[in-house]
Amino acid sequence: MMKSLLLVMGLVETATGLGLLASPPLVASLLLGAKLEGAVASVVARVCGTALLSLGIACFLAREGPHISAATGLIIAMLVYNILVTGLLAYSVFGLGLMGIALWPAIAAHAALAIGCFAGVFYGDRTPDHS
């Protein structure tokens, strides 16, 4: 039962996330019956899509049970999230010309978190925590 639920949630969240990443106006129109307009709305919708995609990945990885720890699955999902958000925010500067006072610190923070997640997944402690 649990694996089936995680599979369904993974499929739904991944599909919605990919849809928001690929075409935020289409998904907004289908879900909300309204237009999604402007560069800012598009960036925010894509960040939401990235979050949903990451949730979908976490659900898929959680289905693996004892083959992958919950922490590792979450770190992999957050790695994907932080890489994509770093790229989206950088694109909002260089591709869309957007600039807020917190944008560069947010880009730096997500890049640092992505590096930390990468290190955690590929070089982290492989012993179980029994505390």
**pTM for the whole thing?**
0.84
Six-digit token string for 15: 């599909």
pLDDT at residue 106 tops 70: yes
Six-digit token string for 50: 């990235």
Q: Write 91-97 long-range contacts (CB < 8 A, 24+).
A: 91/43, 92/39, 92/43, 96/39, 96/43
End-to-end CA distance of the chain: 29
Q: Which residue has the higher pLDDT, 56 or 71?
A: 56
pLDDT reported for residue 27: 92
Distance CA 112, CA 118 (A): 10
pLDDT of 57-103, one tens digit each?
A: 999 888 877 777 878 888 999 999 999 999 999 999 999 999 999 99
pLDDT bin (cut points 50, 70, 90) of residue 126 is: low
